Amino acid sequence: MTAIFWSGVALIAYVYVGYPLVLFLASRVWSRPVHRSPMTPSVTMIIAAYNEEDVIAKKLENSLTLDYPAEKLEILVASDGSTDRTNAIVLEQYAGRVRLLDLPREGKTSGQNKAAAVASGEILVFSDASTIYDAGAIRAMVANYADPTVGSVGGDVRYVREDDAVAGKGRQLYWNYEAAIRRWESRIHTVLGATGCIYSLRKSLYVPLDPAAISDFVQPAKATLRGFRSVVEDDAICYEVAESKELGDELSRRARVVLRGIRGIGYMPESLNIFRHPWIFFQLLSHRILRWSVPVLMIAAFVSNAFLLHDPVYLVLFFLQGVFYAGAIAALVCDRLGIRVPGLFIPLYFCMINLAPLIAVWSLLKGEKKVVWETGPQAS
């Protein structure tokens, strides 16, 4: 039981502290700069949309006023079976300036496959309908393609909270942590995956994917497996409203992301070949596989600790675990009552994001694929 307890604690500590620390130190020693240079290749922005009548006009106005040559920027809305006025708004207000693909309801990745096939740009930029870009975001991303080793470039998303909900605060804190890890990975060599609402790819590297694959993970990773770097551009900034106000919505969103991430590794098994791709394997193991294993490690640490209470040290450790989980439960109750206790959302959000992999694995065992998505709080 002692070995189980300390193994669980050590692996959890490695996932959340050790791996980021290794990256931070390595990025200071083995940093590999990208050779950026101003350039204006032809770009196609692919906007995934499903029933986005409330936001599509604002998104297109933003896209049409970006600081990029209009003749070099194609804007393409991939409407995934929208049943509201999304298509009508595009056709009536933006005819001649924006292309509309009126597609059957087959999911975001399927829509991106079809949009990429007809895109005219050398560089594909993928965005969501609710995402607002800084004026210079595209220029900042494409400057990285002056480096021939770069195949994919992601940007930096800033979450804007509509209120002070636990889900919104937790999501922002978690993203800040994730963004730092991705930035360090990018500086060392490559980042596996990107932020779906702001990432780009050389069109020549685009690979049509199974509709159940999560494109913002698999496309950059496949580019990396072909010998290209996937990097993060800090100056390519966009803004997204953290819409998952309810914890249940945020939990469902996280579970969908994990499920599609697990399936994503299944679509590229060569990424697990430690002899051909040692760095990619190390990243996948540390940043994905072990991260998804944390809930099992938490349970193992708690249960094994319960068998060691005869030792005062383990009694204290068990008590501390109990306080942490009690804090999560208290935060959940307070959230239901509309009470906001500063800092109490941290244990709750931590427990929630580590419940998501268990839900994802259960969905995987049931054969669920989560191909389509919903707008609003259910958006993925």
pLDDT in tens, 137-172: 999 999 999 999 999 999 998 877 655 555 556 667
Pick 334 or 116 by higher pLDDT. 116
pLDDT (average), residues 169-177:
73
Is 377's pLDDT higher than 80? no
Listed range (99-108, 125-134, 159-168, 273-282) with the worst mean pLDDT: 159-168
pLDDT (average), residues 275-294:
92
Hey, CA dihedral for 209, 211, 216, 221, is it positive or negative?
A: negative
Pick 174 or 168 by higher pLDDT. 174
Question: What is the pLDDT at residue 264?
Answer: 85
Is 111's pLDDT higher than 70? yes
Is 249's pLDDT higher than 80? no
Is 338's pLDDT higher than 60? yes
Question: What is the pLDDT at residue 379?
Answer: 41
pLDDT (average), residues 341-368:
84
Question: What is the pLDDT at residue 363?
Answer: 86
- Long-range CB contacts for residues 84-91, cutoff 8 Å, separation at least 24: 84/51, 84/52, 84/53, 85/53, 86/49, 86/50, 86/51, 86/52, 86/53, 86/56, 86/129, 89/53, 89/56, 89/57, 90/56, 90/60
Percent of residues, the chain, with pLDDT higher than 70: 92
Spell out where the chain has E strands: 43-49, 73-80, 99-103, 123-128, 132-133, 150-160, 198-202, 229-241
Mean of pLDDT over the chain: 88
Is 58's pLDDT higher than 60? yes
- Token pair, residue 205, equals 């590297």
| Predicted TM-score (pTM) of this structure | 0.84
pLDDT (average), residues 290-313:
94
Is 378's pLDDT higher than 80? no
Q: Among 303, 218, 298, 196, which residue's Cα sits nearest to residue 266?
A: 218
Question: What is the pLDDT at residue 84?
Answer: 92
Is 380's pLDDT higher than 80? no
Query: Are residues 67 and 137 in contact, defined by beta-carbon separation less than 8 angstroms?
Result: no
Is 374's pLDDT higher than 70? no
CATH of domain 31-243: 3.90.550.10
Q: Where are the domains of the chain?
A: 31-243
* 124-133, 250-259, 365-374: which is most confident: 124-133
Q: Which residues contact 299 (CB under 8 A, 6 or more apart)?
A: none
* 138-147, 180-189, 247-256, 274-283: which is most confident: 138-147
Is 267's pLDDT higher than 90? no
Is 293's pLDDT higher than 70? yes
